[in-house]
Amino acid sequence: MLGLVSAGTSAFADEMLVIAHRGASGERPEHTLAAYELAIDQGADYIEPDLVVTKDLVLVARHENELSDTTDVAAREEFADRRRSKTIDGRLVSGWFAEDFTLAELRSLRAKERLPGMRPANARFDGLYSIPTFAEIVQLVRAKEAETGRTIGLYPELKHPTFLLQDEGIDSVDLLVRALREAELDDADDAVFVQSFEVGPLRRLDRLVDVPLVQLVKPDDGPADEPALRYDDMVSPSGLAEIATYADAIGTDLRLLFGPEGVPSGLVDDAREAGLAVHAWTLRKENAYLPPMLRRGTAENGTGDVLGMVTILKVQGIDGVFTDDPGLVVSALAQ
């Protein structure tokens, strides 16, 4: 675990970090270079690529290893025979999976908006963008750092690492460690966080790299690699103390921060007591994703009170927030 008093990158932030969730995914199809670049231009501190792996062992950015929600693969006749059903983290999933395609084959697919009903304007960009590799995302970050003169962080998440290792024979932890080392981004003073919903991969990473690690948690579930564990137990004081033995922060679903009436749950204080920073996910501008008191108008995809949500998180002392709308959050923080 990274020492929280060491120099360089820390899980604790003087100001609330703005983490671009899959890029500026409120305005562009998620996990595309266009979404990441727009997020950087809007002032995001970090961009967040979810990482899956190709058949030829290349890390690429997709929200899930199943591709049909975010690409045109289902309409591609040449790949019709690649459709599979797999049990991933205890759930049967049918579709097309990144690990069954080479990088060259994935290059022929085009990204599309995952939520076209909620974000119809984003669907105008369907078909324009390819699936980026992690190496290309690093290259983009470095180009934008040279252009802007500011540090831009990377916040990758490994998707389903235990499934990939046990069922597909793909060690995504090892691939990420190698990629970070090759990019010289594996030290404590590099602007990198690595996150996972699973415990074992984070424990391995704690032994292999010095960047801060983030244990993701959410309600009513548990880590896929630890079936006896529940996230509700992991966010108890004793559970947080255990997380602090291998991670530097928790990345928590917003619902764990507040009770039904909007009263703080106490999780932030408990995490602080354990020495863990708190990053919250996911702040989205649409009414459908905001608490009732912050909704404006009746349209589900209407824009609600983002400034109000940012204020609530600031009052709670949240160290960082994942958002689909980094421009709005940066503006709210400036106010």
What are the residues whose beta carbons fall under 8 Å from the beta carbon of 48, sequence distance 6 or more?
19, 20, 21, 22, 23, 155, 156, 157, 322
Which two structure tokens, joined as six digits, stand for 140?
A: 């983009």
Of the candidates 185, 176, 178, 181, which has an alpha carbon nearest to the alpha carbon of residue 153?
185
The CA R_g of the chain, rounded to the nearest whole Å, is: 19
Q: Enumerate the active-site residues.
A: 21, 63
Residue 73: how many CB atoms within 10 A of its CB?
26
CA dist., res. 117 & res. 207, Å (int)? 43
Query: What number of helices (H) and strands (E) belong to the chain?
Result: 11, 13
Of the candidates 190, 201, 187, 206, which has an alpha carbon nearest to the alpha carbon of residue 158?
201
DSSP alpha helix (H) spans, the chain: 33-41, 103-107, 134-148, 161-168, 172-182, 200-208, 231-234, 237-243, 267-273, 306-316, 326-334
CA dist., res. 168 & res. 220, Å (int)? 27
- What letter represents residue 136's amino acid? E
CA dist., res. 233 & res. 131, Å (int)? 37
CA dist., res. 169 & res. 206, Å (int)? 22
Three-class secondary structure of residue 251 per DSSP: strand
Residue whose structure tokens are 């199943």: 66
What are the residues whose beta carbons fall under 8 Å from the beta carbon of 325, sequence distance 6 or more?
24, 26, 27, 283, 284, 285, 306
